[in-house]
């Protein structure tokens, strides 16, 4: 199901800066995407869990590493995102210098010039 969700994303513009560890990705999601089924039938909305999933997906692309999410803090959902609406995902990664394999990630979704979602993610590299 996660793969189906991620395949349904429409990337309009993608800017991944691997040196600065920053990303700006302009996206939209078609109305027939599974993310809108049942949430809510009369007014389809992008659930907060899916917004975080989208942020983690692009974070993996930015870092080009396998990661696991340790925790999420300061998550705020301020604006609704519906089918076909364009939004901008911004990610800024800060290495956690107390541990080589840990990152603090500031993620934000902006719609119509205003923050629709903001969250701080703490992730770890998966070391095999």
Query: How would residue 128 be classed by pLDDT, with cut points 50, 70 and 90?
Result: low
Asked whether the predicted pLDDT for residue 68 surpasses 80, the reply is: yes
In b/e form, how buried is each residue of 27-62, taking b as 16+ CB within 10 angstroms?
bbbeeebebbeeeeeeebebebebbbebbbbbbeeb
Average pLDDT of the chain to the nearest whole number: 92
Where in the sequence is the domain holding 8, given as residue range(s)? 2-125
* CATH number of the domain encompassing residue 80: 3.10.129.10
pLDDT at 109: 98
Exposed/middle/buried for residue 87 (C-beta within 10 Å: 0-12, 13-18, 19+) = buried
Q: How many domains does the chain have?
A: 1
Nearest C-alpha neighbor of 124 from the set 78, 93, 84, 89: 93
Phi-psi region of 69 (alpha: psi -120 to 50; beta: other; left: phi over 0): beta
pLDDT at 38: 79
Asked whether the predicted pLDDT for residue 98 surpasses 80, the reply is: no
Please compute the mean of the pLDDT values over residues 28-35 and round it to a whole number.
Answer: 92
Asked whether the predicted pLDDT for residue 121 surpasses 90, the reply is: yes
Q: How far is CA 59 from CA 9, 16, 23, in A?
A: 15, 9, 8
69-97 pLDDT per residue, tens: 999 999 999 999 999 999 999 999 997 76
pLDDT at 57: 94
**Alpha helices for 8-126 (secondary structure H):** 48-63
Asked whether the predicted pLDDT for residue 46 surpasses 90, the reply is: yes
Rounded CA-CA distance 109/66 in Å is 22
């Amino acid at each position: 199901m996660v793969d189906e969700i991620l395949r349904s994303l429409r990337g309009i513009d993608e800017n991944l800066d691997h040196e600065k560890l920053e990303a700006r990705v302009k996206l939209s999601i078609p109305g027939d995407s599974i993310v809108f089924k049942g949430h809510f039938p009369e007014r389809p909305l992008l659930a907060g869990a899916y917004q975080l999933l989208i942020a983690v997906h692009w974070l993996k692309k930015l870092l080009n590493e396998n990661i696991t999410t340790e925790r999420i803090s300061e998550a705020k959902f301020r604006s609704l995102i519906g089918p076909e609406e364009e939004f901008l995902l911004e990610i800024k990664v800060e290495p956690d210098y107390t541990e080589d394999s840990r990152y603090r990630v500031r993620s934000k979704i902006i719609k119509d010039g205003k923050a629709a979602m903001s969250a701080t993610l703490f992730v770890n590299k998966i070391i095999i």
